[in-house]
Structure 1
Amino acid sequence: MSTADFVVVANRLPVDRNTDGGDGGEWRRSPGGLVTALEPVMRSTEGAWVGWPGKADLEFEPFEFDGMHLVPVPLSADDVADYYEGFSNDTIWPLYHDVIAAPRYRRNWWEAYQRVNLRFAEATAAIAAEGGTVWVQDYQLQLVPKLLRDMRPDLTIGYFHHIPFPAYGLYSQLPWRKQVLEGLLGADVIGFQRVADAGNFARAVRRQLRYETRASGIRVPTSDGGHRTALAKAFPISISTDDYIELAQRPDIQARAAEIREDLGNPKKVLLGVDRLDYTKGIRHRLKAFGELIEDGRLSVEDVTLVQVASPSRERVESYVQLRDEIELTVARINGDNDTWGHSAIRYMHQAFPREEMVALYLAADVMLVTALRDGMNLVAKEYVASRVDNKGVLVLSEFAGAADELASAVRINPHDIDGLKDAIVRAVEMPTAEQGRRMRALRKRVREHDVDDWSRLFLDALTAAARGHGVTTRSVSTVDEEQREA
């Protein structure tokens, strides 16, 4: 079996099974920024991608697709239920998103998580070349870095955490908190979306493992009695900005944007929310604020329409079923109380759309509402900004989304403050064109300068530096001193 100098390890392969009978063979490329970001590196290094094919009980031999070597990791129906839907999405996801929903701690889920992480590590160890580089992606695989280091100490290992990392007071609830921290510290570079997330991680390491830290470095003991330094810092992810600009400049997509406004009854202002149907996204808060604005008479149904796109998510998880029912009842109530023959208050769509249609929606929307209660980044905010080639439109952005650290010219809101959210929406609706232009130009400059290529380059540069510095240590302040400062 051939080996690869560069290996990406993610819960999912970058392809979907082609079941529509169309051209292109058995597999088709998955949409998504991660695939776009890593594809050039994969091609230049003839890299491999280790991941689950996406359906239970499917087993495939490694295969080639579009210049990438793909290594499927099979999961049984029980694995999907316990490792993925259970521990990953009903324990880690709510815990890491500030316990907006209550996490559940089940020992059989943890056992499945360990078992599946070991399977991913073994598949990676088998395909990685001597002295190669491995980049592990996200919260489903937090144990893989240490498992892989134990198997293959010759490798340089990176890990990127796409979701928030919680404050210590929340993280400490996790019964297996030390094992997860030790798993992550198997990596040479541990990347986070926000500086605050990296700080939360370092604090948890100090409190739980008593390891020494200084700046971004964490001093990790090794089996031979020595130590090595793991780098933990922020590498905020971004989008393929040029792709969105190119789409937004296409005449057919601009025509589709005008058609969308026509279909909505040509309101004076179109508000837009685009989210996965998830309790972290603040959809309920957004609907409450908008409904109250109509009831208060501050917005008129004839003048303003809210388009809410909520793509399906984790439909077998009970909390998500309940969320969908609640949102659909809220939309029905607001529309029932306020719709006219020519205009609807809210146009709600529980479905996903291709990128071309999303860019048309972004161009049609005068105000983009990102009201996340907690979000690692929120790339929708950046997609909206990149698409506004006309330098118009207003981004209303939650301070609890990672994007708020970068997109300083957005109208920032605390989504828990419904009155403040209402005021921000009215401000956005009434914002003069000149102010829109000033804000949007600043936002677009940031998104263009820091795109997804910049993100992957910065992370891989840090990994390269780590490879050169294997075994090098830095002097660090003692854990006791750190704890005294925190006290």
Structure 2
Amino acid sequence: MRQSSLVVVANRLPLDDNAAPDGACEWRRSPGGLASALHAILQQTPATWIGWNGGIDSAPVLPDVGTLRIRPVSLSSEELQGYYEGFANSTLWPLYHDAVEQPVFDRGWWETYRAVNQRFAEAAAELAEPGAAIWIQDYHLQLVPQLLRELRPDVLIGFFLHVPFPPPELFMQLPRRAELLRGMLGADLVGFQRPQAAHNVAQLAVKLFGAEATDDQITLDGRTVRTGAFPVSIDVTEMQALASRPDIVEHAEQLRADLGQPRRVLLSVDRLDYTKGIEHRLTAYSELLRDGRVKVRDTVMVQVAVPSRERVDSYRVLRDRIEGEVGRINGEYGRVGEPAIHYLNQSFDRADLAALYQTADLMVVTPLRDGMNLVAKEYVAARSDNSGALVLSEFAGAAAEFEDAFLVNPHDVDGLKETLLQAMDADPADLQRRMAAMRDQLQRHDILAWARTYLTALDHTGRLAAGLRR
């Protein structure tokens, strides 16, 4: 089997669930998704991507995408339940997001998680050529770096955590905390969204292993692991081009007409997840309607909630709660043909998202905790005329880069209400200044800059970064 000098290992492949009849495949492009972040650089860069194809008990041969080779890893229904729905998304996900939802500790899930991580590590070991770089992505595969090092000590190993890393007092709750931390520290370079995460890991390495550690490097078992913050970004050029297409502009105008030509359109686009602050946002908007500070005919809210982890009980319960609250708000404040909230529990393609971004006067991104939040960056990229306002949670990684957004604590419903009104009533010149500053920041720190910075840190020769093409 042909081997690669760059191998990306992620939970999911960047493909749609099904190949087209002609055998072609398309990128899976979910809002804020890993494939959305990486597609721009890997579609034109020789590499291999290893991941689960979304099916059960099958790993079909899939066609390449440009210069990217696709290699699926199979999961059984039991493995999907224990590794993905269980340990990754019912134990690690809530704990890594400040325990917004109580994490579940199930001893059986750990063994499944470890077995699946071993399978990913073995696939990477097989497909990597001597001295290759292997770039492992996210919390689903936190054991893979150390497992891979045991199999292939000759390769460069990078690990990037796209979600937050919790403070030590939360991480210490994990029954398998030492194995998880050692697994991640099997990498040569561990990347995070924010510097605080590297600090948290350094503290844990000292506490659990007695390692020598700073926020930049950790020495453990005679080997030095480098750590650092590398904030992920988007393909700015692609979103700008998409948002300026005549058909997209026309679609945005039609959307506004369909919404009744309101004076202001508020938009939120989230995965349906308890970390996204959707319920807090609905409460704030409902109270603004109740108090008469927002009128339905004058202002409309569009909430896109992309289906997510529908087999996990807590997500089904969340969906029911949100749909019930939207129904209550529309029943109480809506009019015939004029709902207070347009709620869409469905996925949108890139073109439809670009049109929505063009339609929105306010983009409301208020997660309770988020590693980065690429939807915020996509909205800024789409606003080529520097119009629009971004209301952004202080607890999203993007807040560190978008200081000119209307920053808010989403836990403070009264503060959220006031910030929404401030953004709605802001002077247009102030909005232009804020958006121009955010667009300048984003254009200087796009997805290519992120990948080059990370891969240069991983491979000091510059060979990997030089291979990235647009």
With normalisation by structure 2, the TM-score equals: 0.95
Q: Is the contact between residue 5 and residue 129 of structure 2 (CA under 8 Å) also seen in structure 1?
A: yes
Shift of the alpha carbon at 1:28?
3.0
In structure 1, what is the Cα distance between the partners aligned to 2:399 and 2:170? Answer: 22
Secondary structure in 1 aligned to 2:237? helix
Contact 2:37/2:232 (8 A) holds in 1: no
Could you tell me how far apart the structure 1 residues matched to 2:231 and 2:124 are?
A: 25
Matched, 1:388 2:383: yes
- Partners of 1:94 and 1:422 lie apart in 2 by 26
Call closer, same or farther: CA 1:251–1:419 in 2, change over 3 Å: same
Counting only pairs closer than 5 Å after superposition, residues 38-49 of structure 1 correspond to structure 2 as: 38=38, 42=42, 46-49=46-49
Moved over 6 A (4+): none
Deviation (angstroms), 1:69 = 2.0
Q: Secondary structure at 1:396's aligned position in 2?
A: strand
* Kept after mapping to 2: 8 A contact 1:18/1:26: no
1:25 aligns with one of 23, 26, 49: 23
Residue from 339, 342, 348 that aligns with 1:344: 339
CA distance in 2, matches of 1:401, 1:39: 22
- Aligned twin of 1:286: 281
Paired residue secondary structure (1:444): helix
In structure 2, the partner of 1:367 is: 362
Matches within 5 A, 1:73-472: 73-221=73-221, 227-465=222-460
For residues 115 and 458 of structure 1, do their structure 2 counterparts lie closer, same or farther at Cα, with a shift above 3 Å needed? same
Distance change in 2, residues 1:467/1:212 (3 Å): farther
Give 1:434's aligned amino acid: A
* Closer/same/farther in 2, CA of residues 311 and 42 from structure 1, 3 Å limit: closer
Q: Is the contact made by 1:191 and 1:233 (CA closer than 8 Å) also made in structure 2?
A: yes
Which residue identity is paired with 1:245? Q
**One-letter amino acid of the structure 1 residue matched with residue 278 of structure 2:** I
1:328-382 CA-partner distances (Å, limit 9, x unpaired): 1111111111112352210100001111111111111111111100000000100
Q: Is the 8 A contact 1:156 1:466 kept in 2?
A: no
**8 Å contact kept, 1:407–1:443:** yes
* Secondary structure at 2:460 match in 1: helix
SS in 2 for 1:29: coil
What is the CA deviation profile of residues 404-424 of structure 1, one whole-angstrom value per residue up to 9, with x for unaligned ones?
A: 010110000000111100000
Report how far residue 30 of structure 1 moved. 2.1
SS class of match (2:302): strand
Distance 1:24 1:460, change over 3 A: farther
* Gap change, CA 1:391 and 1:62, over 3 Å in 2: closer
How far does the alpha carbon of each residue in 1:268-321 deviate from its partner, in whole angstroms, 9 at most, with x for none?
101111100000000000000000001011111111111000010011111111
Question: Relative to structure 1, is the Cα distance of residues 145 and 439 closer, same or farther in structure 2, using a 3 angstrom cutoff?
Answer: same
**Which residue identity does 2:353 align to in structure 1?**
M
Letter in 2 for 1:160: F
Matched residues in 2 for 1:166 and 1:322: separation? 25
**Distance change >3 Å, CA 344–CA 445, structure 1 → 2:** same
What SS class does the counterpart of residue 335 from structure 2 fall into? coil
Stretch deviating more after TM superposition (26-35 or 211-220): 26-35
Shift of 1:71: 1.8
Residues of 2 paired with 1:115 and 1:150: CA distance?
15
What root-mean-square deviation, in Å, do the aligned CA atoms of Structure 1 and Structure 2 show? 1.7
Distance apart, 1:40 and its partner CA: 6.9
Change (3 A) 1:159 1:247: same
Query: Counterpart of 1:58 in structure 2: which amino acid?
Result: S
Bigger CA drift: 435-444 or 26-35?
A: 26-35
Q: Secondary structure at the match of 1:85?
A: helix
SS in 2 for 1:465: coil
Q: Which whole-Å CA distance do the structure 2 matches of 1:130 and 1:286 have between them?
A: 51
Q: Is the CA contact 1:3–1:129 (under 8 Å) kept in the aligned structure 2?
A: yes
Say if 1:335 and 1:346, in contact at 8 Å, map to a contact too.
Answer: yes
Shift of 1:118: 0.4
Identity %: 50
Structure 1 residues 41 and 407, CA, compared in 2 at 3 Å: closer, same or farther? closer
CA distance in 1, matches of 2:351, 2:28: 15
- Distance 1:353-1:343 versus aligned 2 partners, 3 A rule: same
| Structure 2 Cα separation of the partners of residues 196 and 411 of structure 1 | 22
> Could you tell me how far apart the structure 1 residues matched to 2:257 and 2:158 are?
48
1:41 and 1:305 mapped to 2: Cα distance?
37
Question: What corresponds to 1:473 in structure 2?
Answer: none
Residue type of the alignment partner of 1:195:
P
Give the AA of the match of 2:376.
Answer: A
Letter in 2 for 1:29: W
State the partner residue of 1:58: 58
What's the secondary structure of 1:382's corresponding residue? Answer: helix
Residues 290, 232 of structure 1: CA spacing in aligned structure 2 closer, same or farther, 3 A cutoff? same
